[in-house]
Structure 1
Amino acid sequence: MPDIGKLLREKNIIFVTLALCLVFYLISPRFMSIDNMSAISRQIVPIGLIALGQFFVVVSGNIDLSMGMGSVLFAILLGVCFGLTGGVGVGIAAVIVASLALGFLNGVLVAKLKLPAFIVTLSMLFMAQGLSGLIIPRGQQIFLMGGFFRFVGAEKFLGLYLSFWFLLVLFALAYVVYNHTRWGAYVVAIGNSEENAKLAGINVDRVKIGIFMFSALCSGFAGIMLSTRMGFVQPGLDGNGLLLDGIAAIIIGGTLISGGRGTIAGAFWGLLFIGVINNSLNLLNVEDVWHQVFKGGVILAALGANWVLWQSQQAEAH
């Protein structure tokens, strides 16, 4: 007979997410429609990309607050390059180079200069927000029509948007790297004890820089996908909302905020949890103020349940 308690502890986010789906379906049968499921698959892509990059940062015992506004800045960079050249390739290349440069700078400041990741990435958040307003004056927009943007933003495969399949591929690759490579093991080791990782011969500084570069690259991808979904770019987009949803997704999925523990599968289910809440509240026409209050309450309840189950698991282990 399976151990029900153990199953609930290890897979609780799955049961909670499925239970939420059932509740929202009973409230609004439209929730389970094919069109709505497809819409969710597109809505969660930018959040998922930020969550994936944030996952490795948090497991290593750090935080990257620049990802949300960074994604807005990279979306604007893509739009400006597209507007000036008429070519998407130049814009995508510029986003990749700029995101890797930002991640490298964050990583060097944290790893080499030993500055707190919170302060470094908070500073980058403000800089990204300011640069977004400098590149495109507030109130102006750049429209991104046809070609690549229509294809990635509107085309589907097996009923799901192409952007979602791109997200799935990245999560699958991240799963392999995290669970089956030395680099993944190094990330966990650093999160558990940086000093012990150094004693084990791990080049902690190099791994940290790599983590922040990957995080920023995910932010760049999020900016690209955000632009394809919206069809335009402008300053003032809610990048911080994306960041908070991304962090909430991985924490709900069981990632320890102090580092050293987490699973890619848990992060993905946490992402689905956030996606279900966001979509359902919009579907039910909940006012924005109450939207935030309700989402905060549900997330807090889910985190409380995670904590209780984790504590019971620790007690049982001892």
Structure 2
Amino acid sequence: MSTAPLAPARADAPETPTVSPAKRFVATVGVQNISLIIAIALVVAVIGIQNPLFFTIANLRVIGTAVAIVGLLAVVQTIVIILGALDISVGSIAGLTSVTSAMLFTATSSALVGVVGAVAIGVVCGLVNGCIIVFGRVNPVIATLATLAAFKGVAQLISDGRAQGYTGADPFFVFLARGAVLGVPTLIWVLVIVAVVAHLVLRYTTIGRNIYAVGGNNIAARLAGININRYIIGVYMVTGAVAAIAGVLITARTGSGQPISGSEGLELQAITAAALGGAALKGGKGAIAGTILAVILLGVLTNGMTLLGVNTFWQNVAQGTLLVIAVVIQQLRSGERRIGIPG
């Protein structure tokens, strides 16, 4: 066996660059998430100085329960956007399933029947969206804009445009609306569970990697053997199911099925949260953690403006402005040529 000594290391060999803890932290958390955390801290500080009631436990619970429904829709909207699509009908699905859950509960006196029936309706609505996009070859924005009106119309037809049923005395619906586990409201637990499952699927499964692949480059994904149509239909069905859960939570919070009240405008809030959280509207990029931070920011901002007596119309202006800012930042970061600007 050879016992020749090892050659000495070259003096000019490149050294492994050391990464500072600060850079490692930024790389782990992400610039987008750090920006959202700073924004939340600033908004909390400004509102807290103006109104100390903001920091009460009761108000923090109000914020948490208020963002739960929007958060559910924002989580699945993020998945749809990563896929390279959009779902504008989620608010209408929530309204339709809210009415459905209340009416089924009234007819059967069973909360289980009401919840299962609502989720089934949500899945069917998602299937309809997916089939229109895949087999009708319709742009997702146009397709779900049409079903937004259609699902809302169905909800108004079956409810005659009025709130239906009464669930305020049922233990299960009461637990959903006002219950708590380990001191945390049930509504927040529902959001946490859905968000964690979505995060794990996107980050650690083949399904999640394929969703990113389809949104990033659908041609390359198709050549790689990914069944794009199956993923489109599947994601929209999951979106419909989660929107139905949001509809059940609306029923629980209001004590009755609401065809419009409580669900109208949720689609804009969900898209705004997903965009603020870093989901690229062209697809292929996004994360659940950023979306949740954006939902918290929107919830804190809305609650703070309410405490400070800001007109609700200005709250809508603020949400629209945030969406525009998020999209502009995405466009600038992408480095793509801006429309209308030569060069």
TM normalised by structure 2 equals: 0.85
Amino acid of the structure 2 residue aligned with 1:17: I
Q: Report what 1:43 is aligned to.
A: 66
Which region of structure 1 is more displaced relative to structure 2, 61-70 or 1-10? 1-10
Matched, 1:224 2:248: yes
- Is 1:263 aligned to residue 297 of structure 2? no
Structure whose CA Rg is larger: 2
Aligned length: 311
Query: 1:26/1:259 Cα in 2 relative to 1: closer, same or farther (>3 Å)?
Result: same
Aligned counterparts of 1:28 and 1:242: Cα–Cα separation in 2: 27
Task: Tell me if structure 2 keeps the 8 A contact 1:96–1:217.
Answer: yes
Counterparts of 1:287 and 1:208, CA distance in 2: 40
Amino acid at match of 1:60: L
The answer to whether residue 168 in structure 2 is matched with residue 110 in structure 1 is no
2:34 maps to amino acid: K
Partner of 1:293: 317
What CA distance in whole angstroms lies between the structure 2 residues aligned with 1:179 and 1:199? Answer: 22
Aligned equivalent of 2:115: 92
Task: Tell me if structure 2 keeps the 8 A contact 1:111–1:205.
Answer: yes
The match for 1:23 among 15, 40, 46 is: 46
Match of 2:232, as an amino acid?
Answer: K
Which of 248, 253, 260 aligns to 2:277? It is 253
- State the alpha-carbon separation in 1 of the partners of residues 304 and 33 from structure 2: 26
- Counterpart of 2:339 in structure 1 is none
Candidates 202, 215, 223, aligned match of 2:239 = 215
Q: Separation in 2 of the partners of 1:303 and 1:33?
A: 34
TM-score with structure 1 setting the length = 0.91
Is this contact kept in 2: 1:252–1:306, CA < 8 A? no
Deviations along 1:153-185, one digit per CA (max 9) or x if unpaired, are 001234321111111011111111000001001
Q: 1:204 aligns with which of 205, 210, 228?
A: 228
CA RMSD, Structure 1 to Structure 2 (Å)? 2.0
Letter of the 2:53 counterpart: R
In structure 2, what is the equivalent of residue 159 of structure 1? 183
Greater Cα offset, 20-29 or 296-305: 296-305
State the shift of 1:258 in Å. 0.9
* C-alpha distance 8-65 of structure 1, shift in aligned 2 (>3 A): closer
| 1:227 to partner: Cα distance | 1.1
**Do 1:99 and 1:213's aligned partners in 2 also have CA atoms closer than 8 Å?**
yes
> In the alignment, what sits opposite 2:211?
187
Give the fraction of aligned pairs with identical amino acids, expressed as a percent.
27
Answering whether residue 150 of structure 2 is matched by residue 127 of structure 1, we say yes
2-structure distance, mates of 1:302, 1:5 = 20
